[in-house]
Each structure stands twice: as structure tokens, then as C-alpha cells.
Structure 1
Amino acid sequence: MRKNLFDLGPVFGYFFRKNDPSRPSNFNLRTMHFINKLSMSMFLVGLLVLLYRWFIR
């Protein structure tokens, strides 16, 4: 179980997956996915800033 703790493959797969024609798509779903990607990106940028402040500065 601990082996998969830092497995980031699904996260990067979420960002770079291609459109699946068998999945339904509408405005609400596209908006939800955009907000999810934006919030994950902002979290990662904030994490990088914190790591920079803790270790580099």
C-alpha cells in the first residue's frame, strides 16, 4: 500500500488525457474539469513556492 502513496501517474494522466468520444460532454462537465485542473495547478505552484522558501532561502 505504501508503494502507491506517491504514485503521480493518475494525476498527470488527468492533465494530459485525450477526449474519449464515448463519454458525454457538456458545458457543466467541461467547466468542472477546467476548475479541477486549475485548482491542482495552483496547489502545485503553491507547494513549489513553499519548498523554495523552506530549502533554498
Structure 2
Amino acid sequence: MKGLFDFTEVATYFFRKKDANRKTNFNLRAMHSINKISILMFLAAMIYFAIKHW
């Protein structure tokens, strides 16, 4: 049950450093940007629903 509420991977996804040895291209940067936006929208919706139903 503890593993279900472990959000460390989500938190570190936003604050990790870029690897200098890895090449990046536009598609990879766009994918990560969309992922970050979708995670933020999901968390905002969960907060909204939690506040609305309390």
C-alpha cells in the first residue's frame, strides 16, 4: 500500500539535471514538455476534485 502513494518519481521528473552525454532532439523535448503539462493538469484536477467534494 505504501508504494501506491510514493510520488518521488513524479517530483524528481521535474527537477532532474540534464545529461550532457545524451543527445536531444525536438521530438524528445516536445514529448517531455507534454508529459510535464499532463502531469500538472492531472494533479490540479485531483486537487480541485478533493476540494470540491470536501
Task: Settle same-fold status: TM greater than 0.5.
Answer: yes
Of all paired residues, the percent bearing the same amino acid is: 48
Spell out, residue by residue over 1:22-51, the C-alpha distance to the aligned partner (whole angstroms, 9 max, x if none): 222110000000000000000111111100
Any gaps of 5 or more consecutive residues in structure 2?
none
Question: Distance between the aligned counterparts of 1:46 and 1:54, measured in 2?
Answer: 12
Task: Give the letter for the 2:11 counterpart.
Answer: F
Moved over 6 A (4+): none
- RMSD, aligned CA: 0.9
Any gaps of 5 or more consecutive residues in structure 1?
none
> Which residue is 1:41 aligned to?
40
Task: Give the letter for the 1:33 counterpart.
Answer: H
TM-score by length of 2: 0.90
TM-score by length of 1: 0.86
Aligned length: 54
